[in-house]
Amino acid sequence: MSKEIISINKKECVHCGICTAACTTGALTLDSNTWMLEYDASKCINCGLCVMACPLNVIMKVS
Amino acid sequence: MRKSYEEINNRIKEGKAVVVTAEEIISIVKEKGIEQTLKEVDVVTTATFSPMCSSGAFLNFGHSDPPIRMEKITLNGVSAYSGLAAVDTYIGATEPSERDGIKYAGSHVICDLIDGKPVHLKASSNGTDCYPRKEIDTSITLDSINEAYLFSPRNCYQNYAAATNSSNKTLYTYMGILNPNMDNITYCTSGELSPLVNDPYYRTIGIGTRIFIGGAQGFISWQGTQFNTSRERSEKGIPLGPAATLAVIGDLRMMNTNYIKPAVIENYGASMYVGIGIPIPILDEEMLRHVIIENKDIYTSVFDYSVQRRERPVVCKVNYEQLRSGFVEINGKNIRTNTLSSLYKSREIANKLKELITNGEFMLQEPIQKFPVRNNGLKSLEVCDYEKKDKVNNYE
Protein backbone atom coordinates (compact mmCIF):
# COMPACT_ATOMS: atom_id res chain seq x y z
CA MET A 1 0.00 0.00 0.00
CA SER A 2 1.40 3.41 -0.97
CA LYS A 3 2.15 5.97 1.68
CA GLU A 4 -0.30 8.87 1.80
CA ILE A 5 1.25 12.16 0.78
CA ILE A 6 -1.78 14.29 1.43
CA SER A 7 -4.46 14.18 4.07
CA ILE A 8 -8.04 15.23 3.50
CA ASN A 9 -10.17 16.55 6.33
CA LYS A 10 -13.15 14.37 5.47
CA LYS A 11 -15.40 16.08 7.99
CA GLU A 12 -15.03 19.43 6.23
CA CYS A 13 -14.65 18.23 2.63
CA VAL A 14 -17.79 18.96 0.55
CA HIS A 15 -16.74 16.64 -2.30
CA CYS A 16 -17.06 19.45 -4.83
CA GLY A 17 -14.40 18.01 -7.08
CA ILE A 18 -12.45 21.20 -7.74
CA CYS A 19 -9.27 19.45 -6.62
CA THR A 20 -9.81 16.75 -9.23
CA ALA A 21 -9.32 19.35 -11.96
CA ALA A 22 -5.94 20.27 -10.47
CA CYS A 23 -4.88 16.64 -10.11
CA THR A 24 -3.40 15.54 -13.42
CA THR A 25 -2.46 12.00 -12.37
CA GLY A 26 -5.89 10.72 -11.36
CA ALA A 27 -4.94 10.38 -7.70
CA LEU A 28 -8.01 12.40 -6.72
CA THR A 29 -11.32 11.40 -8.27
CA LEU A 30 -15.01 11.49 -7.43
CA ASP A 31 -16.69 8.13 -7.06
CA SER A 32 -19.26 7.86 -9.83
CA ASN A 33 -21.94 6.42 -7.52
CA THR A 34 -21.51 8.22 -4.23
CA TRP A 35 -19.79 11.31 -5.68
CA MET A 36 -17.47 11.33 -2.70
CA LEU A 37 -13.83 12.28 -3.10
CA GLU A 38 -11.42 9.36 -3.35
CA TYR A 39 -7.65 9.44 -2.98
CA ASP A 40 -5.33 6.87 -4.55
CA ALA A 41 -1.92 7.40 -2.96
CA SER A 42 -0.25 5.15 -5.53
CA LYS A 43 -0.98 7.75 -8.22
CA CYS A 44 -0.01 10.81 -6.15
CA ILE A 45 3.21 12.55 -7.27
CA ASN A 46 3.36 15.05 -4.41
CA CYS A 47 2.87 18.05 -6.72
CA GLY A 48 0.71 19.90 -4.19
CA LEU A 49 -1.62 21.34 -6.83
CA CYS A 50 -4.67 19.96 -5.04
CA VAL A 51 -3.64 21.68 -1.82
CA MET A 52 -3.67 25.03 -3.59
CA ALA A 53 -6.86 24.27 -5.51
CA CYS A 54 -9.04 23.18 -2.59
CA PRO A 55 -11.55 26.00 -2.02
CA LEU A 56 -12.08 24.97 1.59
CA ASN A 57 -8.44 24.47 2.52
CA VAL A 58 -9.12 20.93 3.72
CA ILE A 59 -6.31 19.17 1.83
CA MET A 60 -2.93 19.21 3.54
CA LYS A 61 0.44 17.71 2.74
CA VAL A 62 1.24 15.06 5.33
CA SER A 63 4.93 15.91 5.71
CA MET B 1 -55.66 14.08 -11.30
CA ARG B 2 -54.87 17.37 -9.61
CA LYS B 3 -53.75 18.27 -6.10
CA SER B 4 -53.80 21.73 -4.54
CA TYR B 5 -51.19 23.24 -2.24
CA GLU B 6 -53.76 23.07 0.55
CA GLU B 7 -54.33 19.35 0.02
CA ILE B 8 -50.60 18.65 -0.06
CA ASN B 9 -49.95 20.79 3.02
CA ASN B 10 -52.75 18.98 4.86
CA ARG B 11 -51.09 15.68 4.04
CA ILE B 12 -47.77 17.08 5.32
CA LYS B 13 -49.44 18.21 8.57
CA GLU B 14 -51.01 14.78 9.00
CA GLY B 15 -47.66 13.09 8.40
CA LYS B 16 -49.06 11.35 5.33
CA ALA B 17 -47.22 13.16 2.54
CA VAL B 18 -45.13 11.03 0.22
CA VAL B 19 -41.91 12.87 -0.53
CA VAL B 20 -39.11 11.69 -2.79
CA THR B 21 -36.04 13.33 -4.32
CA ALA B 22 -35.74 14.40 -7.95
CA GLU B 23 -33.39 11.46 -8.51
CA GLU B 24 -35.69 8.92 -6.88
CA ILE B 25 -38.78 10.00 -8.82
CA ILE B 26 -37.19 8.93 -12.11
CA SER B 27 -37.01 5.26 -11.20
CA ILE B 28 -40.39 5.37 -9.41
CA VAL B 29 -42.12 6.55 -12.59
CA LYS B 30 -40.23 3.99 -14.66
CA GLU B 31 -41.49 1.27 -12.35
CA LYS B 32 -45.05 2.42 -11.61
CA GLY B 33 -45.93 4.70 -14.51
CA ILE B 34 -47.19 8.25 -14.54
CA GLU B 35 -50.76 7.61 -13.42
CA GLN B 36 -49.94 5.56 -10.34
CA THR B 37 -47.04 7.81 -9.30
CA LEU B 38 -49.26 10.85 -9.62
CA LYS B 39 -51.65 9.31 -7.10
CA GLU B 40 -48.89 8.35 -4.70
CA VAL B 41 -46.27 11.13 -4.69
CA ASP B 42 -46.99 14.57 -3.26
CA VAL B 43 -43.65 16.37 -3.30
CA VAL B 44 -40.31 16.05 -5.08
CA THR B 45 -37.26 17.66 -3.50
CA THR B 46 -34.52 19.29 -5.55
CA ALA B 47 -31.18 20.72 -4.41
CA THR B 48 -27.89 22.27 -5.32
CA PHE B 49 -24.64 23.00 -3.48
CA SER B 50 -22.39 25.21 -5.58
CA PRO B 51 -20.16 28.27 -5.38
CA MET B 52 -22.55 31.23 -5.67
CA CYS B 53 -20.56 34.44 -5.81
CA SER B 54 -23.53 36.77 -5.83
CA SER B 55 -24.29 36.19 -2.16
CA GLY B 56 -24.09 38.32 0.93
CA ALA B 57 -25.73 39.32 4.17
CA PHE B 58 -27.48 42.34 5.66
CA LEU B 59 -26.61 43.07 9.28
CA ASN B 60 -27.84 45.62 11.81
CA PHE B 61 -25.39 46.16 14.67
CA GLY B 62 -27.59 48.12 17.07
CA HIS B 63 -26.56 51.55 18.41
CA SER B 64 -23.58 52.27 20.65
CA ASP B 65 -23.57 55.00 23.27
CA PRO B 66 -22.80 57.62 22.12
CA PRO B 67 -24.07 56.47 18.72
CA ILE B 68 -22.21 56.48 15.43
CA ARG B 69 -23.28 56.79 11.80
CA MET B 70 -20.88 54.28 10.30
CA GLU B 71 -19.26 55.59 7.14
CA LYS B 72 -16.47 53.05 6.77
CA ILE B 73 -16.94 49.55 8.13
CA THR B 74 -14.73 46.49 8.36
CA LEU B 75 -15.59 43.08 9.82
CA ASN B 76 -12.49 41.02 10.61
CA GLY B 77 -10.72 43.32 8.17
CA VAL B 78 -13.24 42.79 5.37
CA SER B 79 -14.82 45.95 4.05
CA ALA B 80 -18.61 46.08 4.34
CA TYR B 81 -20.96 48.48 2.57
CA SER B 82 -21.80 51.58 4.59
CA GLY B 83 -24.05 53.51 2.24
CA LEU B 84 -27.13 52.62 4.25
CA ALA B 85 -28.50 53.94 7.53
CA ALA B 86 -26.23 54.45 10.54
CA VAL B 87 -25.69 50.89 11.73
CA ASP B 88 -26.90 48.82 8.77
CA THR B 89 -24.46 47.11 6.46
CA TYR B 90 -24.25 44.62 3.63
CA ILE B 91 -21.29 42.29 3.47
CA GLY B 92 -20.65 40.62 0.14
CA ALA B 93 -19.32 37.06 -0.07
CA THR B 94 -16.51 37.88 -2.49
CA GLU B 95 -15.08 40.95 -0.70
CA PRO B 96 -11.42 40.19 0.14
CA SER B 97 -9.89 41.18 3.49
CA GLU B 98 -7.24 43.84 3.83
CA ARG B 99 -4.75 41.43 5.39
CA ASP B 100 -5.33 38.05 3.77
CA GLY B 101 -6.98 38.97 0.48
CA ILE B 102 -9.22 36.25 -0.94
CA LYS B 103 -8.02 33.74 1.66
CA TYR B 104 -10.31 35.42 4.18
CA ALA B 105 -13.26 37.19 2.60
CA GLY B 106 -16.84 38.23 3.20
CA SER B 107 -18.03 34.63 2.93
CA HIS B 108 -15.69 33.69 5.79
CA VAL B 109 -17.12 36.50 7.94
CA ILE B 110 -20.68 35.35 7.23
CA CYS B 111 -19.82 31.75 8.13
CA ASP B 112 -17.91 32.82 11.26
CA LEU B 113 -21.04 34.67 12.37
CA ILE B 114 -23.20 31.60 11.69
CA ASP B 115 -20.75 29.53 13.74
CA GLY B 116 -21.19 31.94 16.67
CA LYS B 117 -17.60 33.21 16.53
CA PRO B 118 -16.78 36.77 17.63
CA VAL B 119 -16.14 39.16 14.75
CA HIS B 120 -14.04 42.31 15.01
CA LEU B 121 -16.09 45.37 14.03
CA LYS B 122 -14.27 48.60 13.21
CA ALA B 123 -16.04 51.67 11.87
CA SER B 124 -15.35 55.34 11.43
CA SER B 125 -17.40 58.43 10.77
CA ASN B 126 -17.12 62.18 10.39
CA GLY B 127 -19.61 62.55 13.24
CA THR B 128 -22.87 64.47 13.22
CA ASP B 129 -24.90 66.27 15.87
CA CYS B 130 -27.14 63.22 16.20
CA TYR B 131 -24.37 60.63 15.77
CA PRO B 132 -21.37 62.22 17.52
CA ARG B 133 -19.08 59.17 17.78
CA LYS B 134 -16.31 59.12 15.19
CA GLU B 135 -14.77 55.71 15.74
CA ILE B 136 -15.76 52.36 17.11
CA ASP B 137 -13.64 49.26 17.67
CA THR B 138 -15.51 46.35 19.20
CA SER B 139 -16.52 42.73 18.92
CA ILE B 140 -19.86 41.37 17.74
CA THR B 141 -21.46 37.98 17.52
CA LEU B 142 -24.63 36.78 15.81
CA ASP B 143 -26.35 36.94 19.21
CA SER B 144 -25.22 40.47 20.00
CA ILE B 145 -26.60 42.14 16.88
CA ASN B 146 -30.12 42.72 15.60
CA GLU B 147 -31.08 41.45 12.17
CA ALA B 148 -28.71 39.20 10.28
CA TYR B 149 -29.98 37.66 7.10
CA LEU B 150 -28.51 36.29 3.95
CA PHE B 151 -29.78 38.16 0.95
CA SER B 152 -28.32 36.92 -2.30
CA PRO B 153 -29.23 38.73 -5.50
CA ARG B 154 -28.32 35.79 -7.73
CA ASN B 155 -28.23 32.15 -6.68
CA CYS B 156 -29.35 28.85 -8.11
CA TYR B 157 -28.90 29.20 -11.86
CA GLN B 158 -31.22 27.27 -14.13
CA ASN B 159 -28.57 25.37 -16.08
CA TYR B 160 -25.05 26.75 -16.60
CA ALA B 161 -22.37 26.73 -19.27
CA ALA B 162 -19.43 24.33 -19.15
CA ALA B 163 -15.85 25.48 -19.70
CA THR B 164 -12.65 24.35 -21.37
CA ASN B 165 -9.38 25.97 -22.43
CA SER B 166 -7.74 25.55 -25.84
CA SER B 167 -4.73 27.75 -25.04
CA ASN B 168 -1.33 26.45 -23.95
CA LYS B 169 -1.44 27.89 -20.44
CA THR B 170 -3.48 27.02 -17.35
CA LEU B 171 -6.42 29.34 -16.73
CA TYR B 172 -7.75 30.10 -13.26
CA THR B 173 -11.39 31.08 -13.57
CA TYR B 174 -14.69 31.13 -11.71
CA MET B 175 -15.18 27.80 -13.48
CA GLY B 176 -12.16 26.47 -11.60
CA ILE B 177 -8.88 25.31 -13.04
CA LEU B 178 -8.89 24.91 -16.81
CA ASN B 179 -5.83 23.01 -17.89
CA PRO B 180 -4.07 23.80 -21.20
CA ASN B 181 -4.87 22.20 -24.55
CA MET B 182 -8.41 21.23 -23.59
CA ASP B 183 -7.21 18.81 -20.94
CA ASN B 184 -10.46 19.17 -18.99
CA ILE B 185 -14.01 20.50 -19.00
CA THR B 186 -15.58 21.94 -15.86
CA TYR B 187 -19.31 22.23 -15.17
CA CYS B 188 -21.40 23.46 -12.32
CA THR B 189 -24.94 22.26 -11.69
CA SER B 190 -26.48 19.29 -9.98
CA GLY B 191 -28.15 18.24 -13.25
CA GLU B 192 -31.37 16.30 -12.80
CA LEU B 193 -31.41 17.25 -9.10
CA SER B 194 -31.11 20.99 -9.82
CA PRO B 195 -34.17 23.02 -8.70
CA LEU B 196 -35.05 25.14 -11.72
CA VAL B 197 -34.37 22.30 -14.15
CA ASN B 198 -37.24 20.43 -12.49
CA ASP B 199 -39.67 23.32 -12.87
CA PRO B 200 -38.55 24.74 -16.19
CA TYR B 201 -41.53 27.07 -16.65
CA TYR B 202 -41.60 28.31 -13.01
CA ARG B 203 -45.03 27.00 -12.12
CA THR B 204 -44.12 26.38 -8.47
CA ILE B 205 -40.81 28.20 -8.04
CA GLY B 206 -41.57 31.91 -7.87
CA ILE B 207 -41.66 34.88 -5.54
CA GLY B 208 -42.59 33.71 -2.06
CA THR B 209 -41.68 30.05 -2.48
CA ARG B 210 -40.37 28.66 0.80
CA ILE B 211 -36.93 27.11 0.36
CA PHE B 212 -34.19 25.40 2.32
CA ILE B 213 -31.19 27.70 2.32
CA GLY B 214 -27.96 27.11 4.21
CA GLY B 215 -29.83 24.93 6.70
CA ALA B 216 -32.57 27.52 7.35
CA GLN B 217 -36.06 27.92 5.95
CA GLY B 218 -35.98 30.97 3.71
CA PHE B 219 -37.78 32.36 0.73
CA ILE B 220 -37.37 33.35 -2.87
CA SER B 221 -37.65 37.11 -2.78
CA TRP B 222 -37.45 38.07 -6.44
CA GLN B 223 -36.09 36.94 -9.75
CA GLY B 224 -32.31 36.84 -9.54
CA THR B 225 -30.08 39.26 -11.39
CA GLN B 226 -29.16 38.27 -14.94
CA PHE B 227 -32.49 36.44 -15.12
CA ASN B 228 -32.65 35.42 -18.75
CA THR B 229 -35.55 33.36 -19.95
CA SER B 230 -35.11 34.28 -23.59
CA ARG B 231 -32.83 31.24 -24.00
CA GLU B 232 -33.61 28.60 -26.54
CA ARG B 233 -35.14 25.55 -24.87
CA SER B 234 -34.91 21.86 -25.57
CA GLU B 235 -37.93 19.74 -26.51
CA LYS B 236 -38.34 19.02 -22.80
CA GLY B 237 -38.39 22.73 -22.01
CA ILE B 238 -34.93 22.99 -20.47
CA PRO B 239 -32.99 26.15 -21.40
CA LEU B 240 -29.80 25.28 -23.28
CA GLY B 241 -27.65 27.57 -21.15
CA PRO B 242 -27.76 29.84 -18.09
CA ALA B 243 -31.34 31.12 -17.81
CA ALA B 244 -33.47 31.86 -14.74
CA THR B 245 -31.84 32.79 -11.43
CA LEU B 246 -33.18 33.37 -7.92
CA ALA B 247 -32.81 36.17 -5.40
CA VAL B 248 -33.11 34.46 -2.05
CA ILE B 249 -33.33 35.38 1.61
CA GLY B 250 -32.79 33.45 4.83
CA ASP B 251 -32.04 34.06 8.51
CA LEU B 252 -28.36 33.54 9.38
CA ARG B 253 -29.39 32.53 12.91
CA MET B 254 -31.15 29.48 11.55
CA MET B 255 -28.28 28.47 9.27
CA ASN B 256 -25.70 25.77 9.73
CA THR B 257 -22.25 25.80 8.13
CA ASN B 258 -22.76 22.20 7.10
CA TYR B 259 -24.89 23.69 4.33
CA ILE B 260 -23.13 27.00 3.62
CA LYS B 261 -19.37 27.42 3.41
CA PRO B 262 -16.77 29.97 2.35
CA ALA B 263 -14.86 29.08 -0.80
CA VAL B 264 -11.57 30.30 -2.23
CA ILE B 265 -11.26 29.68 -5.96
CA GLU B 266 -7.52 29.50 -6.62
CA ASN B 267 -6.06 32.57 -8.34
CA TYR B 268 -9.55 33.85 -9.03
CA GLY B 269 -11.33 35.05 -5.91
CA ALA B 270 -13.53 34.22 -2.99
CA SER B 271 -17.00 32.79 -3.26
CA MET B 272 -19.48 30.97 -1.08
CA TYR B 273 -20.89 27.47 -1.32
CA VAL B 274 -24.61 27.86 -0.76
CA GLY B 275 -26.80 24.85 -0.26
CA ILE B 276 -30.33 25.36 -1.56
CA GLY B 277 -33.19 22.88 -1.58
CA ILE B 278 -36.55 23.56 -3.20
CA PRO B 279 -39.63 21.37 -2.88
CA ILE B 280 -41.79 20.88 -5.94
CA PRO B 281 -45.41 19.95 -5.30
CA ILE B 282 -46.76 17.42 -7.77
CA LEU B 283 -49.89 19.37 -8.59
CA ASP B 284 -50.75 17.48 -11.76
CA GLU B 285 -49.40 15.30 -14.53
CA GLU B 286 -47.54 18.19 -16.14
CA MET B 287 -45.50 18.80 -12.97
CA LEU B 288 -44.75 15.10 -12.65
CA ARG B 289 -43.53 15.01 -16.25
CA HIS B 290 -41.22 17.97 -15.50
CA VAL B 291 -39.58 16.38 -12.46
CA ILE B 292 -38.67 13.16 -14.25
CA ILE B 293 -36.14 15.03 -16.35
CA GLU B 294 -32.91 13.04 -16.66
CA ASN B 295 -29.29 14.07 -17.11
CA LYS B 296 -29.34 12.76 -20.67
CA ASP B 297 -32.04 15.30 -21.52
CA ILE B 298 -30.30 18.35 -20.01
CA TYR B 299 -27.96 20.00 -22.49
CA THR B 300 -25.44 22.78 -22.13
CA SER B 301 -22.65 24.27 -24.21
CA VAL B 302 -18.92 23.96 -23.59
CA PHE B 303 -17.28 27.36 -24.06
CA ASP B 304 -13.62 28.03 -24.75
CA TYR B 305 -12.47 30.30 -21.92
CA SER B 306 -9.13 31.00 -23.59
CA VAL B 307 -10.99 33.60 -25.65
CA GLN B 308 -11.09 36.54 -23.28
CA ARG B 309 -14.21 38.14 -24.66
CA ARG B 310 -17.83 38.47 -23.59
CA GLU B 311 -18.88 36.09 -26.35
CA ARG B 312 -16.77 32.94 -26.23
CA PRO B 313 -16.79 30.29 -28.94
CA VAL B 314 -18.84 27.16 -28.33
CA VAL B 315 -16.68 24.05 -28.59
CA CYS B 316 -19.56 21.59 -28.47
CA LYS B 317 -22.92 20.83 -26.91
CA VAL B 318 -23.09 18.12 -24.27
CA ASN B 319 -25.61 16.64 -21.91
CA TYR B 320 -25.15 16.02 -18.19
CA GLU B 321 -25.00 12.25 -18.63
CA GLN B 322 -21.87 12.82 -20.71
CA LEU B 323 -20.46 15.33 -18.22
CA ARG B 324 -21.12 12.99 -15.30
CA SER B 325 -19.49 10.05 -17.09
CA GLY B 326 -16.06 11.60 -16.44
CA PHE B 327 -15.16 12.10 -20.10
CA VAL B 328 -16.50 13.92 -23.13
CA GLU B 329 -15.21 13.01 -26.56
CA ILE B 330 -14.27 15.95 -28.74
CA ASN B 331 -12.62 15.38 -32.12
CA GLY B 332 -11.76 11.81 -31.19
CA LYS B 333 -10.09 12.79 -27.92
CA ASN B 334 -11.49 11.89 -24.50
CA ILE B 335 -11.49 15.02 -22.37
CA ARG B 336 -11.96 14.54 -18.65
CA THR B 337 -14.73 16.41 -16.88
CA ASN B 338 -14.69 17.99 -13.43
CA THR B 339 -17.61 19.36 -11.46
CA LEU B 340 -17.50 22.42 -9.20
CA SER B 341 -20.86 21.75 -7.68
CA SER B 342 -21.08 18.97 -5.09
CA LEU B 343 -23.56 16.28 -6.04
CA TYR B 344 -22.79 14.58 -2.74
CA LYS B 345 -23.94 17.64 -0.77
CA SER B 346 -26.84 18.30 -3.15
CA ARG B 347 -28.12 14.80 -2.44
CA GLU B 348 -27.66 15.37 1.28
CA ILE B 349 -29.78 18.55 1.05
CA ALA B 350 -32.49 16.94 -1.10
CA ASN B 351 -32.74 14.15 1.48
CA LYS B 352 -32.71 16.59 4.40
CA LEU B 353 -35.55 18.56 2.83
CA LYS B 354 -37.41 15.30 2.21
CA GLU B 355 -37.01 14.44 5.90
CA LEU B 356 -38.23 17.89 7.03
CA ILE B 357 -41.35 17.72 4.86
CA THR B 358 -42.07 14.12 5.77
CA ASN B 359 -41.85 15.06 9.47
CA GLY B 360 -44.22 18.00 9.01
CA GLU B 361 -41.50 20.55 9.73
CA PHE B 362 -41.47 22.24 6.34
CA MET B 363 -44.67 23.43 4.65
CA LEU B 364 -45.02 24.37 1.01
CA GLN B 365 -45.72 27.97 0.06
CA GLU B 366 -47.38 28.79 -3.24
CA PRO B 367 -45.65 31.64 -5.10
CA ILE B 368 -47.36 34.98 -4.64
CA GLN B 369 -46.13 36.06 -8.05
CA LYS B 370 -44.81 34.03 -10.95
CA PHE B 371 -41.62 34.70 -12.91
CA PRO B 372 -41.81 35.65 -16.57
CA VAL B 373 -41.48 32.49 -18.66
CA ARG B 374 -39.96 34.50 -21.47
CA ASN B 375 -38.29 37.86 -20.97
CA ASN B 376 -36.29 40.07 -23.30
CA GLY B 377 -32.89 38.61 -22.45
CA LEU B 378 -29.87 40.41 -21.06
CA LYS B 379 -28.52 43.81 -21.87
CA SER B 380 -24.79 44.24 -22.38
CA LEU B 381 -22.62 46.96 -20.94
CA GLU B 382 -21.26 48.97 -23.85
CA VAL B 383 -18.16 51.04 -23.27
CA CYS B 384 -18.69 54.57 -24.52
CA ASP B 385 -17.18 58.01 -24.05
CA TYR B 386 -19.27 59.39 -21.22
CA GLU B 387 -18.08 62.96 -21.79
CA LYS B 388 -19.33 62.94 -25.36
CA LYS B 389 -22.40 60.77 -24.99
CA ASP B 390 -24.15 61.85 -21.84
CA LYS B 391 -24.18 65.45 -20.76
CA VAL B 392 -27.84 65.37 -19.78
CA ASN B 393 -27.29 64.81 -16.08
CA ASN B 394 -24.43 67.17 -15.56
CA TYR B 395 -23.81 66.62 -11.88
CA GLU B 396 -20.03 66.68 -11.86
Mean pLDDT for all residues in chain A: 93
Among A4-8, B154-158, B272-276, B312-316, which is the least confidently predicted range?
A4-8
Binned at pLDDT 50, 70 and 90, residue B383 comes out as very high
Specify the length of chain A in residues: 63
* pLDDT given at position A1: 57
What average pLDDT does this structure show over B237-243?
A: 95
Question: Does the structure show a pLDDT above 60 at B46?
Answer: yes
Q: Say if CB B86 and CB B60 are below 8 A apart.
A: no
* pLDDT given at position B62: 98
Q: What is the residue-wise DSSP string for B347-376?
A: HHHHHHHHHHHHTT-------SBPPPSS--
Mean pLDDT for all residues in chain B: 96
Binned at pLDDT 50, 70 and 90, residue B387 comes out as confident
Give the gap in angstroms from C-alpha A46 to the nearest C-alpha of chain B. Answer: 18
Which positions in chain B have a beta carbon within 8 angstroms of at least one beta carbon in chain A? 49, 51, 176-179, 183-184, 186, 261-266, 271, 273, 324-326, 338-345, 347
Does the beta-carbon distance from B338 to A56 stay under 8 Å? no
Q: Which residues of A touch B47 (CB under 8 A)?
A: none
Q: Give residue-wise pLDDT tens across range B306-326.
A: 999 999 999 999 999 999 999
* pLDDT given at position B27: 98
Interface predicted TM-score (ipTM): 0.94
Q: What is the residue-wise DSSP string for B4-15?
A: -HHHHHHHHHTT
DSSP symbol at B208: T
- What pTM, to 2 d.p., does this model score? 0.96
* pLDDT given at position B303: 97
Choosing among A8, A9, A10, A16, which should be mutated to test the B contact, i.e. which has the most B CBs within 10 A?
Answer: A16
Closest CA to B268 of B155, B100, B80, B103: B103
Does the beta-carbon distance from A55 to B342 stay under 8 Å? no
Which secondary-structure segment (H or E) carries B37? Answer: helix B24-40
What average pLDDT does this structure show over B330-341?
A: 95
Binned at pLDDT 50, 70 and 90, residue B391 comes out as low
Question: Does the structure show a pLDDT above 90 at B393?
Answer: no
Which secondary-structure segment (H or E) carries A20? Answer: helix A18-22
Phi, psi of B21 (to 5 degrees): -85, 165
* pLDDT given at position B392: 58
Helix (H, G, I), strand (E, B) or coil at B387: helix
* pLDDT given at position B299: 97
Choosing among B49, B181, B323, B339, which should be mutated to test the A contact, i.e. which has the most A CBs within 10 A?
Answer: B339
Binned at pLDDT 50, 70 and 90, residue B1 comes out as confident
Does the beta-carbon distance from A21 to B176 stay under 8 Å? yes
* pLDDT given at position B6: 98
Closest in B177, B326, B344 to A53, CB measured: B177
In whole angstroms, what is the distance from residue B189 CA to residue B155 CA? 12
In whole angstroms, what is the distance from residue B362 CA to residue B212 CA? 9
Say whether residue A41 is in contact with chain B using an 8 A CB cutoff: no
Which has the higher per-residue pLDDT, B4 or B384? B4
Does the beta-carbon distance from B265 to A18 stay under 8 Å? yes
Which residues of B form the catalytic set? 130
Closest in B184, B263, B339 to A55, CB measured: B263
In whole angstroms, what is the distance from residue B292 CA to residue B336 CA? 27
Give the gap in angstroms from C-alpha B254 to the nearest C-alpha of chain A. Answer: 20
Q: What is the residue-wise DSSP string for B293-320?
A: --GGG-EEEEEETTS-SSSPPEEEEEEH
* pLDDT given at position A62: 87
Closest CA to A37 of A50, A20, A23: A20
* pLDDT given at position A3: 76
Binned at pLDDT 50, 70 and 90, residue A19 comes out as very high
What average pLDDT does this structure show over B46-75?
A: 98
Q: Which residues of A touch B262 (CB under 8 A)?
A: 56
